[in-house]
Structure 1
Amino acid sequence: MRLFSLLRPGLLLPALSFGLTLAGAVHAQTPASLLDTVQSRGSLQICTTGDYKPFTLAKDGSFEGIDIELAKSLAKALGVEAKFVQTKWADLLTDMGSGKCDVAMGGISVTLDRQKKVFFSTPYLVNGKAPIVRCADKDKFQTVAAIDKPETRVIVNPGGTNERFVRANFKQAKIEVFPDNVTIFDQILAGKADLMIAESIEVKVQEKAKPGLCAVNPDEPLQYGEMGYMLPRGDATFKAFVDQWLHLAKATGEFAKIYDQFVR
C-alpha cells in the first residue's frame, strides 16, 4: 500500500515535468554537428594539396586521384556537392582549424602531433616511408644508416611527414627542400639529388611513371604508417558518419574499385 501511494498522480506529474525540463536543457546544450551544417549548406568542402599522386593531383583546373574519387563518394553519401579547396602541406592544420574545409583528404598520414589538433577517420590504408632513387643506386641506399652519410643528397617536399621523417633520421646527409612535389622526382633523375623519402605507395607509382627511378623495399618500409581523413576536432557525430561511410565503401568493394583505378 505504501509503494502504491508513492505512485499517486499528484506525485508523478512534478517528477515527469522535471524530467522533461532536464531533457530539454540537455538537448539545448548539445552543439550542432558539422554533419547538420554540411547538409544545410548543400556542399562538402574538401581541402586537398593536389600534389600527391596517386591520392590527389591538380590537373587542368580540377583534381583527380584515389581520395578525390572517395571524396565525391562521401559527398554523395551526405547528399551534397563536393567542393575542393587547394591547400599546402604546411597549411593543412591551419586550414582545418579555420573552418576553410570540412574534411582534408589526399594521402594524409596519421600522426600523434596532428591528432592533438584534429580528429582522424578510421585509418583506410597502412603505409610507410620508403626511399626512391636512381635504379643504379638501389643497392646503395637500403637502410637509414646507409643513407645518412655526408655525401648523400636527400630532397624533400616541405611541411609534411616526409620532411619530419628526414630531419628526425638523417643527421649527416645533405637535405634540400624542394617546393614542387609534382616535379621533385625529376630532380633525382637529373642527378641533382640522390633520393627522396615518401610513402611506399607513392614511390611504387613513381617507379612505374618515371623509368630510371626505383623504389627501395616499399613493402618493407623504413617506418610504419597509416593514412586517414582529417576531421574537425571534437565533432564525434561527423566522425561517426565518415567512419561508417568508409566502412561501407570498403565492405561493398567501392574502395577497392577506386584504388585499383589509380594503382595498377
Structure 2
Amino acid sequence: MKFIKYLFFGCILSIYGICNADLLEDRSNVLRVGTTGDYAPISFFDEQGKLQGFAIDMAKALGKHLNKDIKFVRTSWPTLSQDLKANKFDIAMGGITYTPARAKDFLLTSKVIDNGKVALVRCEYVENYLSEESINQASVRVVVNPGGTNEKFVKSRLLQSQVITASDNYVPFSMLLSNKADVMVTDLIEARYQSRLHMGKLCVANSTPFAGTSSYKVYMTPKTNHNLLNNVNEWLNETDIESIAKKWKIDP
C-alpha cells in the first residue's frame, strides 16, 4: 500500500512539474534571450559581426543576477511573438514597446526606458517635416520597417503618404540617404542614434514625440513563466539602467 501511495504522489508531482513551466525553467542554467539584432543602439551587429547594444549588456547583467549563462537567439520583428510562443527562447529583449496587444498575449516587465515616435529625415529638408500633418501628404514618401509599432503607426495615421515597406530594419536609412524616401517614422532612441551616426545628413524633425506615441520599452516572457517575470522585475528595480543607457548614448 505504501508503494502505491508513494507512486500516486510521485505521479502527481510529475504531472505538476510538467505543467508548471516556472519549475522547468528554474532547472536550466541557460537563459535563452530572443533579440532582433537590427535595432541600434539597442541590439545590433557591429562591422565585425559581434552582437552588441544596450539590450545585450542588459541581458548579460541579467544573466549574472540569475546566475545563468546567456544564449542569444536571433528573431525578427514580424516573427518575434510567434517565436516566443513557439518556445524558441525564454525572454525577448530589445526595442520592444509596451502595447495592450502584447500585454494580452505575454507577460511584460516593468518599464526599462522611455520612448516615443518621431520623424527621421534628411537634414536639408527638416523644416518641411516638423509635424505629422506635413508628413501626411500624398507627395511625401514614408519608408517603414515591417512587423513592429513603426509600421502600425504609419499604416494607421499616415493614410495620405506614399508608404514604402522596407525588407528589413536597415534599409530605411540607406533609402533616406540616397533620396529614395523622405521620412522614416521610428523610435526616438533609434532616430537620435542614426542622427549621430550620420551627422549632418540625417536629423530628427520633431523635438517631441508625435501625439499619443509616448511609450516605454519592456521585456517579454511567456504567459506561463511568472517566476521569470518576477525575477526580471526585481532585477530591473535594483540594476543601474541609467549607466548602461548612457554607455550607448540613449537619452530619450
Which band: TM-score by shorter chain?
0.7 to 0.9
Instruction: Provide, for residues 139-163 of structure 1, a one-character-per-residue CA deviation record: whole Å limited to 9, x for no partner.
Output: 1112211111000000010111100
- In structure 2, the residue matched to 1:41 is 28
Match of 1:202 among 178, 187, 190: 190
- In structure 1, the residue matched to 2:126 is 138
- In structure 1, the residue matched to 2:9 is none
Instruction: Provide, for residues 11-61 of structure 1, a one-character-per-residue CA deviation record: whole Å limited to 9, x for no partner.
Output: xxxxxxxxxxxxxx89x8585343x43442211100000000010002334
* Preserved contact between residue 43 and residue 94 of structure 2 (Cα < 8 Å): yes
- In structure 1, the residue matched to 2:237 is 247
Pairing of 1:89-108 with structure 2 (within 5 A): 89-108=77-96
* Preserved contact between residue 50 and residue 58 of structure 1 (Cα < 8 Å): yes
Root-mean-square deviation (CA, aligned residues, Å) is 2.0
Match of 1:214 among 200, 203, 210: 203
Cα distance in 2 for partners of 1:128, 1:150 equals: 24
Stretch deviating more after TM superposition (207-216 or 37-46) = 37-46
Runs of 4+ that moved beyond 6 A = none
- In structure 2, the residue matched to 1:262 is 248
TM-score of the aligned structures, taking structure 2 as reference length:
0.87
* Preserved contact between residue 200 and residue 221 of structure 1 (Cα < 8 Å): no
Give the letter aligned to residue 120 of structure 2: I
- Mapped pair 1:232 → 2:218: no
- Mapped pair 1:56 → 2:10: no
SS at match of 2:146: coil
Cα distance in 1 for partners of 2:137, 2:206 equals: 19
SS at match of 2:105: coil
* Preserved contact between residue 109 and residue 161 of structure 1 (Cα < 8 Å): yes
Distance change (3 Å), C-alpha of 1:38 and 1:29? closer
Cα distance in 2 for partners of 1:240, 1:127 equals: 23
What's the CA shift for 1:62?
Answer: 3.2
What's the CA shift for 1:176?
Answer: 0.5
Cα distance in 2 for partners of 1:239, 1:125 equals: 17
Pairing of 1:128-207 with structure 2 (within 5 A): 128-207=116-195
Give the letter aligned to residue 132 of structure 1: L
Instruction: Provide, for residues 172-217 of structure 1, a one-character-per-residue CA deviation record: whole Å limited to 9, x for no partner.
Output: 1000011231242121011000010010111111111012110122
Larger Rg: 1
Cα distance in 1 for partners of 2:173, 2:157 equals: 21
Cα distance in 2 for partners of 1:232, 1:89 equals: 17
* Structure 1: gaps (5+ residues): 1-24
- In structure 2, the residue matched to 1:18 is none
Work out the number of aligned pairs and report it: 235
* Structure 2: gaps (5+ residues): 1-11
SS at match of 2:236: helix
SS at match of 2:33: strand
- Mapped pair 1:122 → 2:110: yes
* Preserved contact between residue 118 and residue 187 of structure 2 (Cα < 8 Å): yes
Stretch deviating more after TM superposition (126-135 or 139-148) = 139-148
Match of 2:56 among 57, 65, 68: 68
Cα distance in 1 for partners of 2:37, 2:207 equals: 23
Cα distance in 2 for partners of 1:61, 1:141 equals: 35
Cα distance in 1 for partners of 2:40, 2:138 equals: 30
